[in-house]
Homo-oligomer: A and B are copies of this chain.
Amino acid sequence: MSADPSSRRGIPDATVARLPEYLRALTGFAERGITSVSSEELAAAAGVRSAKLRKDLSHLGSYGVRGVGYEVDHLAYQISRELGLTQDWPVAIVGMGNLGHALAAYSGFATRGFRVVALLDQDCDLIGQEIAGLPVRPMSALADLVAARGLAIGVIATPAASAQDVCDALVDAGVRSILNFAPCVLAVPDGVDVRKVDLSTELQILAFHEQRKALARGSVLVDGSLRRVASE
C-alpha cells in the first residue's frame, strides 16, 4: 500500500501544477489500451523532460521499474489520490450563459470526481429552468448549498462585471476554493484559493509551434510578424 498522502512531506506547488498534465497523459494512454509507459514516453506526452517527471513522481513515492516504467492505471490512481480526486467534490457553477451551459454539460468534470450539484444565476428568467438535468437556482441558495450539500468549489462563469460580486457571495457563504473563468482579477481574503482559467493558454502554445513551422518553411519575422519570402 502506498503512503497516506496526509502523512507526506509537502509537495512543491510546481509539481502539483503538473500532476493534472500527467493524469491527462495517462488517461490518453489508457484510452489507447496502453498499460505501461516509460518515463520518457510519459514525459513526452506531458511536455516535460523525463528527469523532471521522475523527480515529480518521486514526491508521490512512485519510482517506476527500470526497463518496465510505470503501470498506467496504478500511477493514474496514485495521482488522482494525491490530487484528492478519489473523493467526491461538490461544485456549483454560477452564471448560466453559454460558457456556464457548456460547463454544466462538460463530461470531463464528473470523470475527475467533480460533481456539479448546483447551477446558479441572478437572472429571474433563468431561475427554475433546467439545464443539463439541474434546475437553475438563485444566488440566495448558496448558504444552504454549503451547509446541506457540502459545496466545496465555486465556478464563476459570469461576465467580468459581475464576477467580483459573485466571488464575494461565494466567500460569504463559506466557499474556500474558486475557479474563475471571467476575464478579470478577483480579490479574496486569506485562506481562499482562486484559480483563473485562460482559455487561450493552449492556443498560445500552438501559436509558438505554428510560428516555428512557418519559419522552418522560410518565412522571416519582421517587427514581430511573419513575412513570406519568395524562394529563388
For the complex, what is the distance from the CA of A195 to the CA of B84, rounded to whole Å? 25
Query: Which residues in B have their C-beta under 8 angstroms from that of A5?
Result: 211, 221
Assembly of this chain: how many copies?
A: 2
For the complex, what is the distance from the CA of A91 to the CA of B89, rounded to whole Å? 35
Number of interface residues of A (CB under 8 A): 81
For residue A107, CB closer than 8 A to chain B, the reply is: yes
For residue A9, CB closer than 8 A to chain B, the reply is: no
Contact present for B6 and A215 (CB under 8 Å) = yes
Contact present for A49 and B204 (CB under 8 Å) = no
Contact present for B203 and A114 (CB under 8 Å) = yes
Partner of A87, one of B107, B197, B226: B226
> Interface stretch among A20-28, A68-76, A122-130?
A20-28
> Interface stretch among A97-105, A134-142, A165-173?
A97-105
Partner of A193, one of B152, B183, B209: B209
Contact present for B98 and A208 (CB under 8 Å) = no
Contact present for A195 and B199 (CB under 8 Å) = no
Contact present for A17 and B47 (CB under 8 Å) = yes
Query: Which residues in B have their C-beta under 8 angstroms from that of A113?
Result: 207
